[in-house]
Amino acid sequence: AQTVTQSQPEMSVQEAETVTLSCTYDTSENNYYLFWYKQPPSRQMILVIRQEAYKQQNATENRFSVNFQKAAKSFSLKISDSQLGDTAMYFCALVIPGTYKYIFGTGTRLKVLA
Amino acid sequence: KAGVTQTPRYLIKTRGQQVTLSCSPISGHRSVSWYQQTPGQGLQFLFEYFSETQRNKGNFPGRFSGRQFSNSRSEMNVSTLELGDSALYLCASSLGLAGLQETQYFGPGTRLLVL
């Protein structure tokens, strides 16, 4: 069975600092996709970044980047120059085409401190 | 383009009642997925509908059911409510099947409280 584990239930970071959120997953498949979603307080969940497993290059989106270690089955999210608006719940998700399921981790609550 | 909308936003029900939640996807999106979000369990996949057909189902009892209409709008029904059904129910839409690595767009959720 496929699983996604986020081992940090809560984290905090000072504004303008860098923070890394951890995500590990388990699958025997070779073709899959990984996502980070962000759920701000009382707001809708939105996609932060996605990574195709067949791509060796780590995905980046402005201040957000991932460290994708396929062999270690690790998919961490790095947020640079943290802003107050980054305060949110962050979910890591795994999708294996053909299984028709999105598998989410339990989330990491990130608080950016002024 | 309007985002995913869910109604109602809040609901209070008592044990044994049933409830119907509604989700309107982004225009042009044909897939709607439903999730249950609780503090301890995170997001649990309920089911996904595509072109009015249920394409996949999570590990929830038969009390949880859904359907999708020809305009892609979807409803989720929970019968014989239990206290443990208290949760935020999220709906997400995507152009194609979410399970084929499509990006999902989430609604604001319906917060259900069962007393």
Q: Is the pLDDT of residue B87 over 80?
A: yes
Name the residue facing B103 among A47, A98, A106 (closest C-beta). A47
Band of pLDDT at residue B26, cut at 50, 70 and 90: very high
pLDDT digits 0-9 by tens, A98-113: 776 788 999 999 999 9
pLDDT digits 0-9 by tens, B46-63: 999 999 999 888 889 999
Q: With an 8 Å Cβ cutoff, are B108 and A107 in contact?
A: no
Chain B residues at the A interface, defined by Cβ less than 8 Å, are 3-4, 33, 35, 40-43, 45, 48, 55-56, 58, 90, 92, 97-101, 103-109
Mean pLDDT of all residues in A18-32? 94
Q: What pLDDT sits at residue B67?
A: 97
Q: With an 8 Å Cβ cutoff, are A100 and B100 in contact?
A: yes
Q: How many angstroms away from the CA of B93 is the closest CA of chain A? A: 12
CB-based contact A94:A1 (threshold 8 Å)? no
- Give the number of other CB atoms < 10 A from CB of residue A91: 25
Average pLDDT value for chain A:
93
Closest CA to A53 of A36, A37, A73, A39: A73
> CA dist A102 to A38, A60, A84, B2, B38, Å?
15, 21, 29, 24, 17
Q: Which residues of B touch A100 (CB under 8 A)?
A: 48, 55-56, 97-100
Q: What pLDDT sits at residue A99?
A: 75
Q: How many angstroms away from the CA of B88 is the closest CA of chain A? A: 11
Band of pLDDT at residue A55, cut at 50, 70 and 90: confident
Mean pLDDT of all residues in A9-32? 95
Closest CA to A103 of B65, B108, B99: B99
Q: Is the pLDDT of residue B70 over 90?
A: yes
Q: Is the pLDDT of residue B101 over 70?
A: no
Chain A residues at the B interface, defined by Cβ less than 8 Å, are 33, 35, 37, 39, 43-47, 50, 52, 91, 95-107
End-to-end Cα separation, chain B, in angstroms: 37
Q: Which residues of B touch A46 (CB under 8 A)?
A: 105-106
Name the residue facing B42 among A95, A100, A105 (closest C-beta). A105
Band of pLDDT at residue B99, cut at 50, 70 and 90: low
Q: What pLDDT sits at residue A18?
A: 98
Q: With an 8 Å Cβ cutoff, are A101 and B56 in contact?
A: yes
Q: With an 8 Å Cβ cutoff, are B56 and A45 in contact?
A: no
pLDDT digits 0-9 by tens, A76-104: 999 999 999 999 999 999 988 777 678 89
